[in-house]
Chains A and B, each alone.
Chain A
Amino acid sequence: MASSTTGEKKILTLKGGDNEEFILEESLVLQSELLKNMVKEERVSSIPLPSIKSKTLVKIIEYLKKHAELTPSNKEEFKNFEKEFVNVVLEELLDITVAVNYLKINGLLEFCCQAVADRIKDKSVEAVRKIFRIESDFTPEEESEFRKETPEAFEGDLDDTTN
């Protein structure tokens, strides 16, 4: 299967998990190491990405486009865009991070991981559990040992769970 071309620009179709299709220039997806390899090795024109929700894919494509337009003169604007980009509910941010890790878009991965880390920083253990909706799977003995060893990690405002 050869890549279809319109004019000089190669066009590629990405298929999200809910079968929604996204048509974009091949040059854009080259920022993803994974897709770059697929395009180079297999000369495909359509790539199914069943593990990535369309909503997530929309965000990622938005980033790829912005990043492709990045020049020294609009650096500030891009920074603001990045800030807004990760200003989403945690669940969405995690979906994006996992997808970006899979697609191997290195710069964006760093940025997403930093954003997730920012939501862990300076919070108590209980607050982090609440934010990330994680149930402790430690035994009660372990749990009380932690509390004895590092009480400061369990102190702090439980209501500090905005996001």
Chain B
Amino acid sequence: MGGLMVERYEKLGLKESLSRAYHYPIACEELSCILRNAYSKIPKNLQSLIFQDSLAAFRLLPQMQTQAAISAANGLLHSIEAALPKQKKVLAASEFKQAMVAQRRRRKVQPMVEGRSQLPQDILVHIFGFLDLTSLVTASLVCRSWSVAASDNHLWQSMHISFFGRPSDNPNIIRLTYGVERITFTPGNTTTASVDWRDAFKRAYRGISRKVTSQRGFCKQCNSIVWLSNSKCSNECFGKISDEHQIMPVSIKQIVDYVIEESIPSSDSDSDTDDSVDGSLFKLWAYPMRFGEPHARCGSI
């Protein structure tokens, strides 16, 4: 039972994710959430594993030169202080302090490696959600990190919808969408990802390509939580997003439940109500609710 929990936790691959700058903040947030919600319920060996990973997160902090990384590490420290016994708290706090000192020193040695504006990916995607087509294309050509953010599948899905309407509104698009889907469902044709909205948009409009998205999803095929890369299961098991929902976007809460109870995230479990109870949840699929109401989102809380 405890062994399985450890196994599921290890499947999350947090340790490896921490070393990647673009996954670091999310990995920290997941660790945080597990600490807060589940630390007291899990077996000793998993507790110590999670503690070690938290320390590792702090040790890696100096390499991360982004504000998001510092924020995430700071959040992790808060969770550690809330959940762990005193001795471990002290150890973690001193590790964090050292990391911050090293981080600052490193920043002084190599000031502004990539200019002043190394914005975290999640914020970039959010910002790009307000751009028109031309500006979005421009943004994607600025630098690599912007290019990745500007390729976010949801951005292009909403771009597609705003240009061509929802599939049912426009006979042309029905054809296009069906075309894409038919390819996806054809057995044997495993090279085509499900709907790549940027690509679909490009076909419908003729633009440019280059696609990456990275978030968390649950892959039914390999029964684990994976990073979504390029809308495919990162374990390379051929599971594809929205291909019969092989990979489902999951919230952090669902990740915690998965580790503790092996509860398999289901698409109809209403995570919205959970979110309002525990606002610390990070909405992994934060953008789809905007579709069709592009003007309703400014200025109100």
Interface of A toward B, CB cutoff 8 Å? 31, 33-34, 36-38, 41-42, 49-51, 67, 79, 82, 90-91, 94, 97-98, 101-102, 104-111, 113-114, 116-118, 120-125, 128-129, 132-138, 146, 149-150, 152-154
Cβ B128 vs Cβ A117 within 8 A: yes
Q: Does B70 contact A (CB under 8 A)?
A: yes
Chain B residues with CB under 8 A of A124: 138
- B141 on interface, CB distance cutoff 8 Å: yes
B142 engages A128 (CB within 8 Å): yes
A98 contact from B68, B129, B132, B139, Cβ within 8 A? B68
- Complex partner residue of A153 from B71, B134, B280, CB under 8 angstroms: B134
Option from B119, B143, B279 in Cβ contact (under 8 Å) with A94:
B119
Q: Which of B130-178 contact A (CB under 8 A)?
A: 130-132, 134-135, 137-139, 141-144, 146
Chain B residues whose C-beta falls within 8 Å of the C-beta of A97 in the assembled complex: 119, 123, 127
Residues from chain A with Cβ under 8 Å of B132 in the complex: 121
Q: Which residues from B are CB-within-8-Å of A38?
A: 78
Select which of A51, A110, A111, A120 is within 8 A of B138 by beta carbon. A120
B180 at interface by CB-CB < 8 Å: no
Residues B208 and A149 in contact, CB atoms below 8 Å apart: yes
Inter-chain contact A105/B301, CB cutoff 8 Å: yes
Return the contact of A133 from the options B115, B128, B146, B279 (Cβ within 8 A).
B115
Q: Chain B's nearest CB lies how many Å from the CB of A107?
A: 3
Which residues of chain B are near A121, meaning CB under 8 Å? Answer: 131-132, 135
A146 contacts across to B, CB distance below 8 A = 141, 208
How many A-B contacts at CB < 8 Å in the complex? 135
Please give, as numbers and ranges, the residues of chain A lying within 8 Å of B131 by CB-CB distance: 117, 120-121
Q: Does B186 contact A (CB under 8 A)?
A: no
Pick the most buried of A94, A113, A128, A154: most chain B CB atoms within 10 A of its CB: A113
Count of B interface residues, CB-CB < 8 Å: 45
A134 touches B298 (CB 8 A): no
Question: Which single residue of chain B is at the shortest CB-CB distance from A37?
Answer: B280
Chain A residue at minimum C-beta to C-beta distance from B122: A101
Q: Which residue of A lies closest to B300 (CB)?
A: A107
Whole-angstrom distance from the CB of B199 to the nearest CB of chain A?
15
Question: Nearest CB to that of B36 among chain A residues?
Answer: A41
B100 within 8 A of A: yes
Distance A134 CA – B115 CA, assembled complex (angstroms): 5
Closest to B146 in A: A134
Contact between B143 and A136, CB atoms less than 8 A apart: yes
| Cβ-defined contact, B280 with A132, below 8 A | no
**0/1 per residue, B287-301, Cβ < 8 Å to A?**
000000000011111
Query: Which B residues are in CB contact (< 8 Å) with A108?
Result: 301
User: Closest CB-CB distance, A27 to chain B, in whole Å?
Assistant: 14
| A-B contact sample (14 more), CB < 8 A, given A51-B67, A94-B119 | A41-B82, A79-B299, A98-B119, A98-B120, A98-B123, A102-B68, A104-B279, A113-B126, A113-B130, A120-B139, A121-B135, A125-B141, A128-B142, A135-B115
Q: Closest CB-CB distance, B294 to chain A, in whole Å?
A: 11
Shortest distance between the CB of A16 and any CB in chain B (Å): 13
Residues of A within 8 A of B17 (CB): none
With both beta carbons as reference points, the residue of chain B lying nearest to A67 in the complex is identified as B301
When C-beta atoms are compared, the residue in chain B nearest to A146 turns out to be B141
